[in-house]
Amino acid sequence: MQVLVVGQGGREHVLTWKLAQSPQVSRVFCAPGNAGTEQDGTNVDIAADDIGRLVKFAEAEKIALTVVGPEVPLVAGIVDAFQAAGLPIFGPSQAAAQLEGSKVYAKELMRQANVPTADFWVFDDSEEAVRFVNERETGLFVVKADGLAAGKGVTVCSTKGEAIHAIRDAMVHGAFGDAGKRILIEERLVGQEVSILALVDGRTIVTLETSQDHKAARDGDEGPNTGGMGAYSPAPVATGELMDEIIQKILIPSVHTMRKRGTEFRGVLYAGVMLTAQGPKVLEFNVRFGDPEAQPVLMRLKTDLFELLQAAAKGRLSDFPELEWDERPAVCVVMASEGYPGSYKKGLPIRGLEDAAKLADTKVFHAGTVRHGDQIVTDGGRVLGVTGLGTNIGAAKKRAYEAVKCIRWDGAWCRKDISDKARLMPCE
């Protein structure tokens, strides 16, 4: 059978690589893909948000299952368009994707479902929002654009001045376009963050192994926010007991309430959870696999990913066998372009990929790369997700950084402390 992965980052490379391992899958297409998906599958020159052409391609190639990586096509209704054409696809409908597409929608759902989350206030008028901040005792707020802002619409503030600046940036200066016309102001929570990914078929919830992302650009979680500079799995802070609490208090009521509202959720439900002194609280919902979390999590999955996602798409997770995992932890280190998360150059030749490929228990997932003739060159801010498995987190970290050492291009950099947080305890 032929399958199609939509997207072009590290998450789509791991999806392509893993789906290609299924004995049932003869070929994995990736649209538009990168230089890595081209090695493990076949790239198709169609943009991830060109839904009309993707439907035509899937019809022509008789695609047995389409798996969507990024949120933009999901929020734009790719699943509805495929279903209308009778094409099997894994992901939430446009209505259910509002869980990520609108932070106000997500907060209202959580309120209805009684899911623990930060207190929040919604504003359509900037001066009202400024007045609200001025009347409070502290400036410990998080200001969020309501709509999709490519992960950049969130400002964590320590002072009232910062909060007011963030409000004006979004609502007056249009930093996030229409996505920031409406904002949320949230109370600022403190604690460790974990990424909880679950497959949902409308009713049944199958959690994946836990992971932790590293969103800040520099070591020690300093510097500006990025799309994620690395991740590891499992996250030891998310103990079995905490996972039970997260399933009972967060995942079950959210999925149940979505169904009750008539917007059944199918796809990956990704809860960004903060482990606070008052228990786990949801920071955000995403409706897709995390990037880079998907790289270490799926590298550990032994179950056939095609069968699993097909079962979820068909509403058949309840009789799916228990997932099998590699017990060994995995660590993914993101190698980035000089200047990222600000502006950066593209087109720089990458050397050493063949040497890294020879290392055992290591896989270099491509994110921002493209092939120019016989050379692979940089094509994005996050360029590679170098992932290693080891008998413990320390060994996995060592493997990943050994592979990082093989690879170079002008200005390449990475955080040096990916997975060190694994030693911290909840609420530290």
Residues of this chain that bind ligand AMP (CB under 6 A): 118, 142, 144, 154, 156, 186, 188-189, 193, 215, 272, 283-284
**Residue 361 identity:** D
Q: How far is the CB of 128 from ligand GLY (least distance, A)?
A: 29
Binding mask 183-222 for ligand GLY (x = CB under 6 A): ------------------------------x---------
> What is the closest distance, in whole angstroms, from the C-beta atom of residue 190 to ligand AMP in the complex?
7
Q: How far is the CB of 126 from ligand GLY (least distance, A)?
A: 27
Which residue of 186, 264, 293, 361 would you call a contact of ligand GLY, by CB under 6 A?
293
Terminus-to-terminus CA distance in the chain, angstroms?
48
Closest distance to ligand AMP from the beta carbon of 193 (Å): 6
Work out what residue 290 binds among ligand GLY, ligand AMP, none; the CB cut-off runs from 5 to 8 Å by kind.
ligand GLY
Binding segment (CB under 6 A) for ligand GLY, from list 22-30, 153-161, 285-293, 309-317: 285-293
Q: Which of ligand AMP, ligand GLY, none has residue 201 at its interface (CB below 5 to 8 Å by kind)? A: none
Is residue 100 within the footprint of ligand GLY (CB under 6 A)?
no
CB of 169 vs ligand AMP, minimal distance in Å: 15
For residues 142 and 168, what is the distance between their CA atoms, to the nearest angstrom?
Answer: 14
Based on CB atoms, which residue is closest to ligand GLY, 153 or 228?
Answer: 228
CB nearer ligand GLY, residue 294 or residue 377? 294
CB nearer to ligand AMP: pick between 188 and 203: 188
Q: Are 385 and 292 in contact (CB under 8 A)?
A: yes
291 binds, among ligand GLY, ligand AMP, none (CB under 5 to 8 A by kind): ligand GLY
Identify what 47 binds: ligand GLY, ligand AMP, none; CB under 5 to 8 Å per kind. none
Tokens encoding 369: 């790369």
* Distance in Å, CB of 155 to ligand AMP, minimum: 8
What residue 283 binds from ligand GLY, ligand AMP, none (CB within 5 to 8 A, per partner kind)? ligand AMP
Rounded to whole angstroms, the Cα distance separating 204 from 202 reads 6
CB atoms closer than 10 angstroms to residue 425: 10
Which residues make beta-bridge pairs with 241?
Answer: none
User: What is the DSSP-derived secondary structure letter of residue 152?
Assistant: -
Give yes or no for residue 361 binding ligand GLY (CB under 6 A).
Answer: no
- How far is the C-alpha of 286 from the C-alpha of 347, rounded, in Å? 31
* Beta carbons within 10 angstroms of residue 90's beta carbon: 24
Taking the mean position of all CA atoms in its chain, how far away is CA 172? 29
CA 251 – CA 160 distance, rounded (Å): 34
228 near ligand GLY (CB under 6 A): yes
Half-sphere exposure of 133 (CA within 13 A, CB side): 29
Distance CA 222, CA 236 (A): 22
Q: Name the residue nearer to ligand AMP (CB basis): 193 or 264.
A: 193
Q: How far is the CB of 289 from ligand GLY (least distance, A)?
A: 7
Alpha-carbon dihedral angle through residues 322, 333, 426, 200, given to the nearest 10 degrees: -30
Residue 88 binds: one of ligand GLY, ligand AMP, none (C-beta under 5 to 8 A by kind): none
Name the one range near ligand GLY by CB under 6 A: 51-59, 163-171, 289-297, 399-407.
289-297
Output the 3-class SS for 192-246. EEEEEEEEEECCCEEECCCEEECCEEEHHHEEEECCCCEEEECCCCCCHHHHHHH
Adjacent-strand bridge partners of 273:
194, 282
**Residue 426's binding partner out of ligand GLY, ligand AMP, none, with CB under 5 to 8 Å set by partner kind:** none
Q: Which does 160 bind (CB under 5 to 8 A by kind): ligand GLY, ligand AMP, none?
A: none
Surface-to-core class of residue 405, CB atoms within 10 Å of its CB (0-12 exposed, 13-18 middle, 19+ buried): exposed
**Which of 291, 304, 361, 379: binder of ligand GLY (CB under 6 A)?**
291
Q: Does 329 participate in binding ligand GLY (rule CB under 6 A)?
A: no
- What tokens were used for 118? 């930060």
304 in contact with ligand GLY (CB under 6 A): no
**8 Å CB contact between 237 and 213:** no
Q: Select from ligand GLY, ligand AMP, none the partner in contact with residue 293, using the beta carbon and a kind-dependent cut-off of 5 to 8 Å.
A: ligand GLY
Residues whose CB falls within 8 Å of the CB of residue 51, separated by 6 or more in sequence, listed in order = 73, 76, 77, 78, 81
Any idea what the Cα angle at residue 307 is, between residues 18 and 264, rounded to 5°?
Answer: 110
Contacting residues toward ligand GLY, per CB under 6 A: 151, 213, 228, 286, 290-291, 293
